[in-house]
A and B are shown apart, each in its own frame.
Chain A
Amino acid sequence: MGKQITEMLKGTLEGIVLAILATAPAYGYEITARLRDQGFTDIAEGTVYALLVRIEKRGLVDVTKVPSEQGPPRKVYSLNAEGHVQLDEFWETWGFLATRIAQLQHTAAPRQEGH
């Protein structure tokens, strides 16, 4: 994995973050923590933050500032109607991509079964 998963994640991270936000509103660190729990251990918090800034600019999330016990207030992101539309599109695209890649995997002669 390593480098390759980082490259592959680049295109899908937005959809993954939208999917996480669809289950419950969250602030930056919570999202990173959930990604790490799910095995994306190399994910940088700053990358997730930059992505949240982008989806906020594109109007896919609503943002509220919640005071925190330590440090500055936290920005809590929740998916809005636009975001849900974007997420539906992501799943559709993902389904297409996953099906095509699986087809390629099965039609390509598996090396380990060679003679």
Chain B
Amino acid sequence: MRFTDLAEKIIGDKRRWRAYKARAKALPEPYRTAVAAIEKYMMNAAIVSNDADVLSQMFEDLADLFEQAAADKTPVHDIVGDDPVEFVETFSANYADGNWKAKAESRLRDTFTYLHSPDAADGDPS
């Protein structure tokens, strides 16, 4: 990747990230606190993607959901349900590409695909 492409990609993504942050900050309470808490949990639990586009898309969709909810005055509980952790799991599963957990899962699957294959008898997986 040429330097300019790289720079463009990073700057572009930063713009998307800043735009999301501005939207999240502009939400009325209690939606703002809800989104901030979900964002923090996603970061801490390492369920965010390393792919900047996927990551931006996830947070943009999150902002869409809560902006709509704020406009409709839907209570936070009706959006998230009884268990916010379960909500985040369901939500973030759509954006798993490249995240730490998805990578670990695919390594595990690859190893067992290898073990189930006829080659497995011949040597080590690499």
Contact = CB atoms under 8 A, between A and B. Distances in A.
B110 interface: no
A45 B79 contact: yes
B1 to A, nearest CB: 26
Interface in B63-107: 64-65, 67-72, 74, 78-82, 87, 90-91, 93-94
* Contact count band on B: 20 to 34
Interface string A47-59: 1011101100100
Interface string A69-86: 011101100000000000
Chain A's interface: helix, strand, loop or mixed, by majority? helix
A49 B65 contact: yes
A71 B72 contact: yes
29 contacts: A28-B68, A32-B78, A42-B82, A43-B81, A44-B79, A44-B81, A44-B82, A45-B65, A45-B69, A45-B74, A45-B79, A46-B80, A46-B81, A46-B87, A46-B91, A47-B90, A49-B79, A49-B91, A50-B90, A50-B93, A53-B91, A54-B94, A57-B94, A70-B72, A71-B67, A71-B68, A71-B72, A72-B67, A72-B71
